[in-house]
């Protein structure tokens, strides 16, 4: 069930809201939590019920291991490292089997000239997210940083539907106390109003903006045989904005839906395209993933405690893991490596006293991010090289026919031709008009973080809410026969 579907907006979400608070109003707290778990599992099974046993088995296994790690028995204490290793290995093994089996087989076939048949497994929905979430829980249980939650509370922590499918990657310490708090057991109309408003912003981002950019990104990456200079830039920037508005839109919708139930999910985006260096970017983009990588990968590897070279190595390893987590392919590995190298370069640069002008720093940072996203999006190396070559002008430049006479007077070049500037991508004015709008929104407008912090709505916000919903539903009705999936469902 998609957040941007009629079933979710008009049936599932209101039904879950009213039943949950009806049970709480009757002081049936356990029943209310049980209903929310059931609703969340129904939401998950809506995609494909065959994967329901996988998430349930994962929950039971991790709860048992976490409970043993929390046990204060002297007999168990000596075995806790082994228990933790077992728990982490089982989680990684489950993720690896479904997500990376074919990737490993393909590489074995390539290296050994073998012909091992591919398993062709379908990736279970949300497996990357609930796996990381539960690994963090096991590590914290080993560190004695968790309370002894019962099975119902733990299941609710993992399955709570607003964050189940594509995050944010939540931490038990920020979720469980909220479900336990009596202050959250009654309807909070301020939360309802704010939740609906943020949800409407996310819906608008996804349906109107992200899905519009998706058309041009798909045309350039998947269908164009070659991309000239402006086509390549239109393609890369379209995906850069598609990914941002798609994932940011999902996160806003998740935050808004959770707020209806008086649950505040962690902020996952803080205007990342305003970043003026790569470290600043990762403090703003997919913030809960950055937190996980820092707390459970980078710091356990040694962090920055053992000298510069060790720090650089740890950064590279951490971001290669980030790349692999996103997808089973060498393009994802390379994307992660690019960001690791960029962070190393940034650390080295910080040792110098020269401070780069802010505009120049932003230009370098944004263009690096934009070019790195090419490898993140490309289905193959050939697709990535096609786009990068075009961006560098190696596949020629096409200028508008109207400029032909004036430009040919100045110079003549085989690399420059005249005609439809973005023939393989879409209408030139429409594409670059939307790109200009994308820049204005991400650079000039406030984000949902500010709105949450202000916790204040005005009359104009009610008008904006109605406008966002109305336009989004129009786009859904007239633009798509089936609502499009969110990009991070693939990861």
CB 347 within 8 A of CB 338: no
What is the Cα–Cα distance from 191 to 197, expressed in whole angstroms? 10
- Helix/strand/coil (H, E, C) string of the chain? CCCCCHHHHHHHHHHHHHHHHHHHHCCCHHHHHHHHHHHHHHHHHCCCHHHHHHHHHHHHHHHHHHHHHHCCCHHHHCCHHHHHHHHHHHHHHHHHHHHHHHHHHHHHHHHHCCCCCCCCCCCCCCHHHHHHHHHHHHHHHHCCCCCCCCHHHHHHHHHCHHHHCCCCCCCHHHHHHHHHCHHHCCCCHHHHHHHHHHHHHHHHHHHHHHHHHHHHHHHHHHHCCCCCHHHHHHHHHHHHHHHHHHHHHHHHHHHHHHHHCCCCCCCCCCCHHHCCCHHHHHHHCCHHHHHHHHHHHHHHHCCCCCCHHHHHHHHHHHHHHHHHHHCCCHHHHHHHHHHHHHHHHHHHHHCCCCCCCHHHHHHHHHHHHHHHHHHHHCCCHHHHHHHHHHHCCCCCEEECHHHHHHHHHHCCCCCEEECCCCCCCCCHHHHHHHHHHHHHHHHHCCCHHHHHHHCCCCHHHHHHHHHHHHHHHHHHHHHCCCCCCCHHHHC
What is the Cα–Cα distance from 213 to 201, expressed in whole angstroms? 17
What is the Cα–Cα distance from 462 to 200, expressed in whole angstroms? 11
Nearest CA to 93 out of 270, 48, 85, 294 is that of 85
Q: Is 25 a catalytic residue?
A: no
Residue in 326, 339, 346, 424 annotated catalytic: 326
Catalytic residues: 326
């Amino acid at each position: 069930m998609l957040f941007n579907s009629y079933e979710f907006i008009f049936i599932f979400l209101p039904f879950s809201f009213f039943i949950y608070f009806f049970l709480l109003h009757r002081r049936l707290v356990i029943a209310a939590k049980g209903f929310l778990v059931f609703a969340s599992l129904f939401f998950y099974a809506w995609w494909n019920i065959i994967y329901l046993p996988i998430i349930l088995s994962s929950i039971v296994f991790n709860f048992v291991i976490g409970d043993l790690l929390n046990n204060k028995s002297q007999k168990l204490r000596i075995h806790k490292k082994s228990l933790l290793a077992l728990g982490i290995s089982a989680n990684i093994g489950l993720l690896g089997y479904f997500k990376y089996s074919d990737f490993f087989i393909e590489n074995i076939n390539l290296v050994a000239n073998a012909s091992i048949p591919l398993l062709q497994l379908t990736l279970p929905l949300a497996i990357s997210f609930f796996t990381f979430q539960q690994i963090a829980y096991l590590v914290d249980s080993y560190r004695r940083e968790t309370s002894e939650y019962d099975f119902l509370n733990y299941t609710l922590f993992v399955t709570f539907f607003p964050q189940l499918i594509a995050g944010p990657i939540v931490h038990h310490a920020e979720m469980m106390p909220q479900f336990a708090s009596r202050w959250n057991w009654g309807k909070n109309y301020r939360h309802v109003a704010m939740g609906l408003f943020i949800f409407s912003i996310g819906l608008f981002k996804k349906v109107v903006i992200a899905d519009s950019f998706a058309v041009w990104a798909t045309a350039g990456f998947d269908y164009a045989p070659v991309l000239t200079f402006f086509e390549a830039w239109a393609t890369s920037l379209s995906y850069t904005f598609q990914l941002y508005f798609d994932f940011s839109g999902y996160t806003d919708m998740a935050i808004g839906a959770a707020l209806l139930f008086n649950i505040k999910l962690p902020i996952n985006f803080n205007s990342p395209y305003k970043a003026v260096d790569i470290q600043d970017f990762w403090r703003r983009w997919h913030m809960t993933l950055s937190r996980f990588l820092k707390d459970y990968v980078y710091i356990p590897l040694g962090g920055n405690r053992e000298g510069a070279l060790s720090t650089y190595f740890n950064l590279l390893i951490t971001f290669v893991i980030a790349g692999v987590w996103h997808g089973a392919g060498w393009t994802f590995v390379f994307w992660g490596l690019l960001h690791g190298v960029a962070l190393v370069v940034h650390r080295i640069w910080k040792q110098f006293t020269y401070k780069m002008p802010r505009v120049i720093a932003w230009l370098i940072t944004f263009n690096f991010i934009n070019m790195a996203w090419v490898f993140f999006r490309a289905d193959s190396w050939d697709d990535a090289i096609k786009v990068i070559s075009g961006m560098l002008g190696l596949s020629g430049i096409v200028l508008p026919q109207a400029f032909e006479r004036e430009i040919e007077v100045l110079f003549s070049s085989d690399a420059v031709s005249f005609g439809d500037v973005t023939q393989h991508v879409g209408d030139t004015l429409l594409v670059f008009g939307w790109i200009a709008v994308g820049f204005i929104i991400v650079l000039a407008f406030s984000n949902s973080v500010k709105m949450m912090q202000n916790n204040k709505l005005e009359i104009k916000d009610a008008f904006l809410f109605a406008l966002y919903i109305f336009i989004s539903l129009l786009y859904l009705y007239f633009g798509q026969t089936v609502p499009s999936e969110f990009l991070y469902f693939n990861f």
